[in-house]
Chain A
Amino acid sequence: METTFDFEKPIADLQMQIEKVNQVADKTKVDMGATLAELQDKLEKTKYEVYNNMTGWQKVQMSRHPDRPQTLDYVNLICDDFIELHGDRNVRDDKAIVGGFATIGGQSVMIIGHQKGKNTKERQFRNFGMANPEGYRKALRLMKLAEKFGKPVVTLIDTMGAYPGIEAEERGQGEAIARNLMEMSVLKVPIVCIIIGEGASGGALGIGVGDRVYMLEHTWYSVISPESCSSILWRSWDYKERAAEALKLTAADMSKNGLIDGIIKEPLGGAHHNPEEIAESVKQQLLGDIATLQKKTVEQLVSERIDKFSKMGVVVE
């Protein structure tokens, strides 16, 4: 069954009404054309209203929709070829981050992203998209490989955070993320990052230092999830909606604050309503940016990337 959220109820109600009218029309052979047209019109308007006025929390819900396209869906939809590469060469292969060489519209790239999994079994296998240190080290190894062969890097971000576990701490979760931030900031090839679902804190940023960073329209990106923020600042789990507002974590807010480079519009109702359409938008954005970034010299690329992040922050002298 398709997952609908509370705020989508007006839409679901209208859809049900239309179905009922259709059934009646079928049964009684009475022409209901006018009523249907009216309802259809109302449905379109409601959809437009609902999806264009989503609150922060509603965006968070949407970013977690179980049918939302994930990294491997994008790989299938936009890559002509893909060779998945595994392992960090130290501990093991982290299943929460996938990556490999791919061609997109004739352009070779290294594509790396979080994979959450679509059903219970897959989610367990992927650790819900929460990477351990070896995941970040695998990502770095692949980025270095891309650098060696002069290929641009694309990262797709979708995580609730880096995994908080005993082994993750033993193997240096903090060090792994920190190393990635440092190495990505001086990587000699173009890096384009897209938040395709959830962008939670260091777990997201760990593969998110890029020349261009985008968010899909209904995603979120911040230093903490609204639930955890609520539990820490309000000392209760009940303030997640307010926390979501306060954190200004939507694509529109992040863009307004100059913390991302742009927003990629989603199909009406969210990416899962039309994966082909969102994949095409992502593809066009990537190809355009890669072409622009490849014209820059390595020095220019790296210094502009560092400058961009150096300017972030608001201080009073």
Chain B
Amino acid sequence: MSWFRREKAGINTATEHKKEAPDGLWNKCPSCKKPLLNIEQIENKYVCHYCGYHLRIGSAAYFSILFDDNEFVELFPHLRSGDPLQFEDTKKYTERLDDSYAKTGLNDAIRCAHGKIEGRDFVLACMDFTFIGGSMGSVVGEKIARSIDYCLQNKLPFMLVSKSGGARMMEAAFSLMQMAKTSAKLALLNQAKLPYICLLTDPTTGGVTASYAMLGDINIAEPGALIGFAGPRVIKETIKKDLPKGFQTSEFLLEHGFLDFIVDRRELKQKIALFLNMIK
């Protein structure tokens, strides 16, 4: 005989009396699975304070981390993609775009803005992975090109935060040519002796790695990010072997000489400002 007796059978709270916990108050760290309180996360620059995992964040969060008082002027905010090829796979490209506009509230996979970092003017371009996998199409290429032109005109340093699966297939060769376009503009920035810093974040692959993401005066990355040219699955299928542990992580790239350093997001702003000060 048990010492506890249920007096009423089953759960009998009516649905309308159920108490909901508000969404977005808590979040789970994808790495250590511990619960993270949203407000604490913002204070901690979206880094898990248990395990140091860097959560994937978008342009709004990076702007708030890097710009003084989160004040900035967004550049060319209204550019949207045309559909030059009337591309259609299982879904029309225009429909995909409309879905993404609605889902993310963004106009494409990158936002660029002019603001200050510890009192110094600079231009920051930041990619958004939530918009069609951060893929690079005409808009991404054009906004980077125009931001570089803006830096050239106003003699400003340029920083870019990359986060992308690569070129946008739905714009096919137009996407491909954005690689040439952005690299050519960066060559001009280089000739003008203006600094370009690229921060590679999780993930940065494909055509983005093979163009502007690897061309910084300094290339830096957040810890544990996936960075590579070919995707791990493609490599695995090609060589028919398992990939070594830690392959294509930030740490792997640092070891092989393709990154200047890995930076904790909580020290990012200070380090960038220090670097810009040193080369002034």
Contacts and interface: CB of A to CB of B under 8 A. Distances in A.
Given A209-B184, A313-B174, A166 B243 contact: yes
Give the residue among B83, B145, B212, B230 with the most A Cβ atoms within 10 A.
B230
A162 interface: yes
Interface stretch (B5-13, B151-159, B234-242, B267-275): B234-242
Given A247-B172, A313-B178, A169 B248 contact: yes
Task: Give the interface centre of A243, A254, A313 by most chain B CB atoms within 10 Å.
Answer: A313
Nearest to B148: A310
A178 B229 CA distance: 10
Contacts of B209: 174-175, 178
A88 to B, nearest CB: 15
Interface size class of B (residues with CB under 8 A): 35 or more
B78 interface: yes
Q: Which of A254, A309, A315, A317: most chain B Cβ within 10 A?
A: A315
Nearest to A178: B214
A163 B239 CA distance: 10
Q: Which of B89, B137, B239 has the most CB of A within 10 A?
A: B89
A177 B187 contact: no
A170 to B, nearest CB: 5
Contacts of B40: none
B260 to A, nearest CB: 13
Given A174-B214, A177-B229, A232-B169, A164 B238 contact: yes
Nearest to B235: A164
Nearest to A172: B258
Given A229-B169, A316-B82, A185 B176 contact: no
Contacts of B186: 182
Interface string A59-98: 0000000000000000000000000000000000000000
The A interface is mostly helix, strand or loop, or mixed, namely: helix
Contacts of A162: 210, 229-230
B176 A222 contact: yes
A208 B176 CA distance: 11
A174 B183 contact: no
A36 interface: no
Interface of B is mostly: helix
B169 A173 contact: no
B177 interface: yes
Given A168-B230, A182-B215, A314-B82, A205 B178 contact: no
A201 B179 CA distance: 10
Contacts of A243: 89
Contacts of B190: 182
B141 A173 contact: no
Contacts of A317: 78-79
Contacts of B167: 201, 223-224
B90 to A, nearest CB: 6
Contacts of B138: 312-315
A113 B210 CA distance: 19
B116 interface: no
B177 A259 contact: yes
Interface of B: 78-85, 87-90, 137-139, 141-142, 145, 167, 169, 171-181, 183-188, 190-191, 206-207, 209-215, 228-231, 234-235, 238-239, 243-244, 247-248, 252, 256-258
14 contacts: A164-B235, A165-B239, A166-B244, A173-B210, A173-B230, A174-B210, A182-B184, A185-B183, A202-B229, A209-B180, A223-B167, A312-B177, A314-B81, A315-B82
Those 3 A-B pairs whose CB atoms lie nearest each other, nearest first: A164-B230, A174-B209, A313-B138
